[in-house]
Amino acid sequence: MNDLKEKLNKVRARIGAACQSAGRSEDSATLLAVSKQQTADRIRKLFAAGQGHFGENYVQEALQKQKQLADLDITWHFIGPLQSNKTREVAQHFSWVQSADRPKLLQRLSDQRPPSLPPLNICLQVNIDLEPQKAGAHPGAVPELARLVSQLPGLKLRGLMAIPSVAAADQTGHSSFARMKQLFDGLRTEGLELDTLSMGMSADLEAAILAGSTMVRVGTDLFGARS
């Protein structure tokens, strides 16, 4: 418990300091705790320490933990690889999806979102460094996808998500983050209502916040190294 709380406080302090350096209010970046491979018990402890948003990458693993944690008011984000045959479960059991990147998935998520629930919050995943093996939409395809999301009744467009390439971050001082910010601002200029730019992880959350991130996704520095 103390260990997790200490780590949470450290990450929160880093986020607050980065926001300050960027001339923003200290609470202008949300912390998403990435709990893949973590037990329900550890999630429960982090929740007790004050963390409310959790991100999961694998549907079956997430559903199992959600069952064990059904008594807690956790906001669940799906951030992992998304396939058509999993969209129904995702649409039923998550509040946010940050890894949708093509029309078919978005259409299915909208159709399968239970009407009893509020629209599913969507951050489109962008393959900002055009890596062949990585998920995410081509940056050039993002405006049309964003317009599609804004028109689907079961979805609510919230923003963009990216996992920049490590090489790009090392070589160009995080220009990937700057390009994401440009894309994000461009959509807003077009009149689309976005409020979430999800970028930055344990190693680079400061750089991401300086570039305009409003949500950082942190696993390792909250829970310790994954096996």
Ligand X SMILES: *Cc1c(COP(=O)(O)O)cnc(C)c1O
Which residues of this protein are in contact with ligand X, per CB under 6 A?
34, 36, 57, 79, 163, 201-203, 217-221
Q: Is 95 helix (H, G, I), strand (E, B) or coil?
A: coil
Contacts of 171 (CB under 8 A, 6+ apart): none
Cβ distance to ligand X smaller for residue 134 or 147 = 134
Contacts of 189 (CB under 8 A, 6+ apart): none
Cβ distance to ligand X smaller for residue 44 or 221 = 221
Q: Is 5 exposed, middle or buried (0-12, 13-18, 19+ CB in 10 A)?
A: middle
Question: Least distance (Å) from ligand X to the CB of residue 99?
Answer: 7
Cβ atoms of 125 and 100 within 8 Å: the answer is yes
Cβ distance to ligand X smaller for residue 25 or 64 = 64
Contacts of 83 (CB under 8 A, 6+ apart): none
Cβ distance to ligand X smaller for residue 131 or 147 = 131
Question: Least distance (Å) from ligand X to the CB of residue 79?
Answer: 4
- The Cα–Cα gap between 185 and 114 comes to 31
Question: Least distance (Å) from ligand X to the CB of residue 138?
Answer: 18
The CB-nearest residue to ligand X is 219
DSSP 59: H
Cβ distance to ligand X smaller for residue 69 or 204 = 204
